[in-house]
Amino acid sequence: MANIEQIAKGAIEPGCAKVDPILVASGVTRQFGGLKAVDVAHLEIPRGKITALIGPNGAGKTTLFNLLTGFDKPNTGTWNFAGKDLAGVAPHKVARMGMVRTFQLTKALSLLTVIDNMRLGAQDNPGEKFFAAFVRPLWANKEREITERADALLTRFKLDAKRDDYAAGLSGGQRKLLEMARALMSKPELVMLDEPMAGVNPALTQSLLEHIKGLKENGTTVLFVEHDMHMVRHISDWVVVMAEGKIVAEGPPADVMKNPAVIDAYLGAHANSDLGDVEIATKEGN
């Protein structure tokens, strides 16, 4: 586990400042009708670490993801990524800046082959421009380079055997892997994974965890939403807890699990249960 002092600057409390933040959000709110789905006063995500975003269903985690990546527009708020203001920036531009996300319900492009899915993840392919598309020499080299990189990633994620299959033919877990691998094609600085473990066959869980740890070792920052406490406890350096749209707690995993505010948010009346059991309860709630 990472040293806490390396992450937080000053006291550890909801919305606390970080030594080296990569993503900083302030005053971000989003209302649906009368309901404030997201109401984040301040949040900083540490660079080069694995941060888990947890909270009960309906806490606004996915909505916050959507807001930060430009897929939804907040009512108020500012946020910046690596010092660049992101408010109002279109989702594709957010991705190009190096902040790539995945989705809770996997969006593998079913009727494209696995390798084409991967190639689509790469940036700056001149062949993706309309007029250049006609002239193969303009993009053949880049395409070859992209394909090599895609093949390497597929091998790393053990999807190489499925290379030429339609993504529709993959299992749920394989799709999660494909989506993660595809996101890496753009060499992002920050990867945002929305429930990477949801629906994944237990046999694949361990390798997924290893892949996420591998991302950190390669210098990529990871922010993920997850219900699986096992995963949260074992791989995250930092945990942020949301409830009813607000950040209610943050800190290193071991400390956060003991935080009464977290237990309260998660369990309500079942405050006596061990938090390890929450995994099952929330999965059923899905």
Q: Which residues bind other proteins (CB under 8 A)?
A: 32, 69, 71, 90-93, 95-96, 100-103, 107-112, 116-117, 119-121, 123, 125, 127-130, 132-134, 136, 139, 143, 166, 168, 182-183, 185-186
Measured CA to CA, the distance from residue 126 to residue 188 in angstroms comes to: 19
Q: What minimum distance in Å lies between the beta carbon of 16 and other proteins?
A: 29
* Cα-based distances in Å from 190 to 102, 150, 265: 11, 19, 28
Q: What minimum distance in Å lies between the beta carbon of 57 and other proteins?
A: 16
- Give the residue with the Cβ less far from other proteins, 164 or 217: 164
* Cα-based distances in Å from 95 to 61, 109, 204, 267: 19, 17, 27, 35
- Give the residue with the Cβ less far from other proteins, 154 or 248: 154
- Give the residue with the Cβ less far from other proteins, 92 or 217: 92
- Report strand pairing: 190-194 vs 99-101: parallel
Residue 10 neighbours by CB under 8 Å, 6+ apart: 16, 17
Q: What minimum distance in Å lies between the beta carbon of 102 and other proteins?
A: 7
Q: What minimum distance in Å lies between the beta carbon of 173 and other proteins?
A: 18
- Give the residue with the Cβ less far from other proteins, 66 or 259: 66
Q: What minimum distance in Å lies between the beta carbon of 182 and other proteins?
A: 7
Q: Which residues pair with 81 in a beta bridge?
A: 23, 84
- Give the residue with the Cβ less far from other proteins, 76 or 273: 76
Describe the crossing of helices 172-184 and 114-121 by its angle, rounded to 10 degrees.
30
Report yes or no: 152 and 144 within 8 Å, Cβ to Cβ.
Answer: no
Q: What minimum distance in Å lies between the beta carbon of 124 and other proteins?
A: 9
- Give the residue with the Cβ less far from other proteins, 45 or 89: 89
**Beta strand segments in the chain, E:** 21-32, 35-46, 50-54, 76-81, 84-85, 99-101, 190-194, 221-225, 238-243, 246-251
